């Protein structure tokens, strides 16, 4: 291991510790300076409005939590059966659904089905839908405040670009649903400053694990994807290229492929 690599590993490990950053406390956070935060959700910016069903009691869900844990695994093969709109709705609600909103109008706080440092909830959810019952193939954005979808990019010819952005992982790019979790870092930075990057990634892990567990309960398979081309996936979603200090900067932090579980063979292989 050369000195340059060793130094970078040390920096990465310092990041893992979070609180041990040497310059933490050198400047007050924006919250301490009484500056305005970002809203906890992005407002509608795309086309159309798709109201998601919420009658989850009609889903045939696995209710034995021990069985859900025992059967949770990464799945890279999916049934040709489409994911139903209700199943997709349940997965979105489980991973980023809002239970209630509190706080002042100038600084609303959302309480969701996943934990987040300081309830800052920096994540947004985008979907590449390839096989969902009742919805056209396309790129969508989740609006958790009203539990709706909007068409983010009105196009269906993204297959090759998405495969390249996922480093050639065609199983993921062609999955019935591709979840993309992005982060607006400033939502968390407003309160936690330089410690925020660690918290944001922890938040993404919480959301993806909920996606796994909800998918397992609903008969869907999920596979988290950490290997992707940052610039390509961000460009495909229309995010500002490269690192930026702008408060509205947004970037992809996690991806997951989801589809109906294939029928198991009745005969052993």
Task: Provide φ and ψ at 20, rounded to 5°.
Answer: -90, 10
Stretch 183-212: mean pLDDT, rounded? Answer: 96
Q: Quick check: is 41 in a domain?
A: no
Structurally, the chain folds into a number of domains equal to 1
Q: What pLDDT score was predicted for residue 27? A: 80
**What CATH number has the domain bearing residue 146?**
3.40.109.10
> What is the pLDDT averaged over residues 198-221?
97
pLDDT per residue as tens digits for the range 93-146: 999 999 999 988 888 999 999 999 999 999 999 999 999 999 999 999 999 999
Residue 268 maps to a domain: no
Question: CA-to-CA distance for 221 and 257, rounded, in angstroms?
Answer: 8
Helix extents (H) in the chain: 3-17, 65-71, 85-96, 159-165, 170-173, 186-192, 196-217, 230-236
Q: What is the mean pLDDT of the chain?
A: 93
pLDDT reported for residue 105: 84
pLDDT digit string, tens, across residues 212-260:
999 999 999 999 999 999 999 999 999 998 888 899 999 999 999 999 9
The pLDDT assigned to 26 comes to 65
Determine, yes or no, domain membership for 175: yes
Provide, rounded to the nearest whole percent, the portion of the chain with pLDDT above 70.
95
Q: Is residue 8 part of a domain?
A: no
Q: For residue 241, is it within any domain?
A: yes
Inside any domain, residue 5: no
Residue 103 is part of which domain span?
Answer: 46-260
Nearest alpha-carbon partner for 95 in 54, 56, 123: 123
């Amino acid at each position: 291991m050369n000195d340059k690599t060793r130094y970078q590993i040390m920096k990465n490990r310092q990041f893992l510790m979070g609180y041990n950053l040497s310059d933490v406390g050198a400047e007050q956070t924006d919250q301490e300076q009484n500056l305005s935060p970002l809203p906890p959700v992005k407002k509608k910016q795309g086309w159309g409005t798709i109201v998601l069903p919420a009658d989850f009691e009609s889903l045939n869900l696995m209710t034995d939590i021990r069985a859900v844990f025992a059967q949770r695994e990464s799945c890279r093969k999916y049934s040709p059966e489409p994911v139903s709109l209700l199943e997709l709705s349940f997965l979105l609600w489980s991973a980023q659904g809002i239970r209630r909103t509190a706080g002042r109008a100038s600084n609303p706080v959302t309480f969701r089905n996943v934990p987040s440092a300081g309830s800052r909830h920096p994540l947004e959810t985008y979907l590449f839908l390839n096989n969902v019952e009742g919805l056209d193939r396309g790129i969508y954005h989740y609006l958790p405040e009203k539990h709706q979808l909007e068409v983010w990019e009105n196009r269906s010819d993204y297959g090759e670009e998405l495969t390249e952005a996922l480093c050639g992982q065609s199983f993921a790019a062609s999955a019935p649903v591709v979840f993309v979790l992005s982060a607006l870092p400033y939502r968390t930075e407003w309160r936690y400053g330089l410690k925020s990057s660690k918290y944001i990634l922890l938040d993404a892990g919480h959301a993806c694990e909920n996606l796994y567990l909800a998918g397992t309960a609903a008969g869907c398979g999920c596979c988290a994807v950490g290997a992707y081309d940052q610039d390509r996936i961000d460009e495909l979603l229309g995010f500002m290229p490269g690192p930026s200090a702008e408060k509205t900067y947004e970037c992809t932090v996690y991806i997951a492929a989801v589809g109906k579980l294939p029928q198991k063979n009745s005969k052993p292989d």
